[in-house]
Structure 1
Amino acid sequence: MDRRTYIKSTAGIGAGLGLAGCIGGGGGGEGDGNASEGTTTEGGSGEGNASGNGSASGNESGSGGESKGQILIGSDIPYRPFEYRTNEDELVGFDVDIAEAVFGEQLGYDPEFKQTSFDTIIPSLNNGNFRVIMSAMTINDTRAEKVDFSDPYFTAYQTIVVLQNSEVQSAEDLAGKSVGVQKGTTGQTAAEELKEELDGDLTIKSYDQIPAAFSALMNNQVSAVINDNTVSAEFVNQNEDAVRFVEGDGEAAAEGENAPPYLTLTVEEYGIAFRQDDDELREQVNEALATIRENGTYDEIYSEYFSG
């Protein structure tokens, strides 16, 4: 199965669900650690203004096309294709382009991404290190106790990637083996749930970022990686002679979705996260998300990253 097959399967589902979002990894993670991280600014500015809202001072009216100033966005980088750097050190990705469309074009801010460890990204938000989180973050009840979410903007699944010559053909075949995950993500949660299903007969190895988990797989340090499908598809596409998805029916098929051609452990939604006292901005973002879907901007960005 080639790259176009994988990506178009994802794209068809996402486009069909409209604003039904995703759950996800490096994004997708729990992001609910206790430490305050994310003190390195991507693109410039420091910890935000004196009010602690994570946005630089500037014209807040935004009327007449005037900029409202900078808005800092916490994000775990790299997490390709959502946010990553090119060889020229340019920050690109689906989330980056959606942020520009929503916060820049629609709301009049200058969006700047601030690199932050995913497992501490929610405390960093609530400590005022940035204004919002946009990091392929899955909406779930645990996180919703600490932050508020926008309407969903992407749909994703937790999947299993193994080496091409692996004997693993199903989730059950992972009994007695080890899996790699990114810390604080829903990939880790899915692995923990699978471990329960296997009566504890599964070793989970957690890594700070998902590339380290993939590296461990390639070096035979783990038998599989559990992670968001779109990010895993990027890795499989680039290493198709060495790795593959575990195939089979899963949660997407069980929920009646147009399931992709690989095993899905979960069906998830991504959202933009806000502090719980930032209702006005959250409502503005929801309106902007609806607008970019109506005017075709969302579909243009989606097609760039998920249509092969």
Structure 2
Amino acid sequence: MKVAVLSFAHVHAATYLELLRERSDIELIAADPDADPADPTRGKALADELGISYRSSYEAVLAEQPHAVIVTSENTRHRHLVEQAAAAGAHVLCEKPLATTEPDSRAMIDACDKAGVNLMTAYPVRFHPAFASLRHSLTDGSLGRLLSVHGVNNSSPPALERSWFSDPALAGGGAVMDHTVHIADLLDVLLDGEQPTHVYAVANDHLSPAHDGTAEGVETAGLVTLTYPRGLIATIDCSWSHPATHPTWGGLSLICVTERALAEFDAFPPLLTGYNTPQTTPRWEPTTIDLNAAMLNTFLTAARTGQRVHPDGHAGLRTLRIVLAAYESLRTGQPTTTSRAT
């Protein structure tokens, strides 16, 4: 099956390329025409380093009629590439957030529906076996009613690797745009798509002073509070708060309070911790679950069989509505609703 990757802008693009090139059932092609030719981490330079067949334009890639396409461009460029891929008859996996506005999200969903192809949003954490166990424990009734959820998705500033994350015109925002959506997707699963009635957010840019040039113009720390119709309260810490010396790039966890128990989920727990004396840094050996591989396998299986894939574009839209409501709350200083933020 022919699979194409459009753009290497996102920090996850190289990971997807490396995973796909190892698969014997995949013919992989790619294009990243918007890259700076002098940037060794993007464009033809990266493709050559990884041994990936490279094309000079998106149009050249799509002319080869790939069966599936992965879009890993800057956030505000998702819509155009998804619409192009859908028009070429390709199933689409789009990096999160699905888009930065509701009209763009709806246009992407409509384009894929019209073309009869899947649109999947890149939320790999929902494929974690431990999250599946958590969901089962919360839905089988044994723990009683879910009362509150505290979610944390922290990382180092992605602008350290890709400067566009600090450009609102390309990213659509900062830490709130980047990291709210993963936790929001897990809540979407646990609550069967139920939307919050109110969203309240606070944020600042204290973690990236302007002099370091990493995130000028966007927020770098945020806390989003969600209130749901049945009274459940959820919080999302979406901050880019990991220092450069942290042993991992990022992390994600949930604490769920129920009537009878406290249930915790850690997506990236350490298998072994210690200290690296030569490098004078903490050491963290991660567990072996590859969530990106699990997500890609689900996407490619659906593309091959024609079955409907999840999380789909509608899941991506629901989580984006929470982000947009958070930004409306930041603008007004008051709680808002997802409907008011569209």
If the length of structure 1 is used for normalisation, what is the TM-score? 0.31
Which structure: larger Rg? 2
User: Normalising by structure 2, what TM-score?
Assistant: 0.29
Bigger relative CO (Cα 8 Å, ≥ 6 apart): 1
Higher strand share: 2
